Chains A and B, each alone.
Chain A
Amino acid sequence: GIQVEQSPPDLILQEGANSTLRCNFSDSVNNLQWFHQNPWGQLINLFYIPSGTKQNGRLSATTVATERYSLLYISSSQTTDSGVYFCAVDSSNFNKFYFGSGTKLNVKP
């Protein structure tokens, strides 16, 4: 199956700092999503972005499908941004999503 690598695995930020999370994948994809898993375990949809750029408030994402990577930008981080960020991709017609191992973000006040 498709390989999904996320970096960095762990990230500690001071509140107000900016960060970039990366997702590399080994094959062309039909679907790509970014999720935030909060401390209670709920997966929250951030972006559905198989290609292009999207923005939502302090968050934005860019997927360069031809180069097989996606970036998630977090600006002016807040303590509520803490949690694990997952990238998930699907390269098949069967909608089988492969998840990266996640980036664990800790934003300190």
Chain B
Amino acid sequence: DAMVIQNPRYQVTQFGKPVTLSCSQTLNHNVMYWYQQKSSQAPKLLFHYYDKDFNNEADTPDNFQSRRPNTSFCFLDIRSPGLGDAAMYLCATSRDPGQTQETQYFGPGTRLLVL
């Protein structure tokens, strides 16, 4: 029944060591989002894909990249994680951004720890 799946749920990496977080969806939604959520803060949108079109938020650091090889999968790559990148990373999907009332469905998140 899982609709938005994130792996792993917990990820530990070393300072400066590249890390990839993955997200998959069984909803066949057009749009996939990546959010960063730090402790006791609101989720902050990093970027999103509408199909294959990539949309980067203006304040997302270059250190964060994303790939979407197909409809079902989306990856978040952190090229050189810093201590400040430790956070929960949430993946979400929605069917069509043109339908602005469309609900976003969130995955359970991946908690990233940087040592």
Partners in one complex: no
